[in-house]
Chains A and B, each alone.
Chain A
Amino acid sequence: NAGVTQTPKFRILKIGQSMTLQCTQDMNHNYMYWYRQDPGMGLKLIYYSVGAGITDKGEVPNGYNVSRSTTEDFPLRLELAAPSQTSVYFCASSYAKSRDSRGEQYFGPGTRLTVT
């Protein structure tokens, strides 16, 4: 059971380039999330999804896009990369029977992105 996997582990982008961070979970979780963590800080939510075909913005969505075509995959797209997007990106998933019954969030190992 792999849990939550993320690729790549590291990436350096030039300003203005684009890339997609991949995230896959094999736990049949309905909720999936993307966070970023800046040095010495907690995590901030970028986007989340409550199921295939449904996505919504989190706290810091500007400069990012997501899609959820399957239960397992939740890619994060960066368009026109900027230095402010230098961060560590974490994908997570959880199972919730209902809005008021949320399970534990399980995290992937992260992608360390540098934009220069």
Chain B
Amino acid sequence: KQEVTQIPAALSVPEGENLVLNCSFTDSAIYNLQWFRQDPGKGLTSLLLIQSSQREQTSGRLNASLDKSSGRSTLYIAASQPGDSATYLCAVLSGPYTGETSGSRLTFGEGTQLTVNP
């Protein structure tokens, strides 16, 4: 069964710093990996989607990498800004697994709560 872990659980940095958020998953047989942003009391906003055949995706100041063999992904945020403060969630699409009646599904990590201080 897939398990997704995000480290660190919380991160506080000064404005302008480059930072890396980590995501690890236990089963490397995934279809894709998606990074989301969630603001307090809000829904999820998709940031980047990496298909299983890809190594990285970039959008503006964000770069996400995927190493399927080691079960790891990183989200790199360049020149962080106070507006980047949010919870960042990693999710992998995989399965189904033995005993599950559902099809493949997203398994989410618990998120990294990022605070960028002015």
Cβ of B103 and Cβ of A99 under 8 Å apart? yes
Asked if A107 contacts B44 (CB within 8 A), the reply is yes
Q: Tell me whether chain B's interface is mostly helix, strand or loop, or mixed.
A: strand
Residues of A within 8 A of B107 (CB): 42
Nearest A residue (CB) for B93:
A102
Interface residues of B in 21-77 (CB under 8 A from A): 31-32, 34, 36, 41-46, 49
Counting contact residues on chain B (CB < 8 A from A), the size range is 20 to 34
Tally of contact residues, A, Cβ under 8 A: 27
Within the assembled complex, what's the spacing in Å between the Cα atoms of A106 and B43? 10
Interface residues of A (CB under 8 A from B): 33, 40-45, 48, 50, 56-59, 90, 92, 99-100, 102-110, 112
Determine the chain B residues whose CB is within 8 A of the CB of A107 once the complex forms: 36, 43-46
A57 in contact with B102 (CB, 8 Å): yes
A45-B105 contact, Cβ under 8 Å, with A107-B43, A109-B43: yes
Q: Say yes or no: is B89 at the interface (Cβ < 8 Å to chain A).
A: yes
- Our pick among A56, A99, A108, A112 for the contact of B102 (Cβ within 8 Å) is A56
Contact B104 A99 (CB under 8 A): yes
Q: Are A108 and B43 in contact (CB under 8 A)?
A: yes
18 pairs of residues in contact across A and B, judged by CB atoms under 8 Å: A40-B110, A42-B4, A42-B89, A42-B107, A42-B108, A43-B91, A45-B102, A45-B105, A45-B106, A90-B43, A90-B44, A100-B31, A102-B31, A103-B49, A105-B91, A105-B106, A107-B36, A109-B43
**Most chain A C-beta atoms within 10 Å of own C-beta, residue among B89, B93, B102, B107:** B102
Apart from A57-B102, A103-B49, what are 18 other A-B pairs with CB-CB below 8 Å? A33-B106, A40-B110, A42-B89, A42-B91, A42-B111, A43-B44, A43-B108, A99-B103, A102-B32, A102-B104, A104-B46, A104-B49, A105-B46, A105-B91, A107-B46, A108-B43, A109-B42, A109-B43
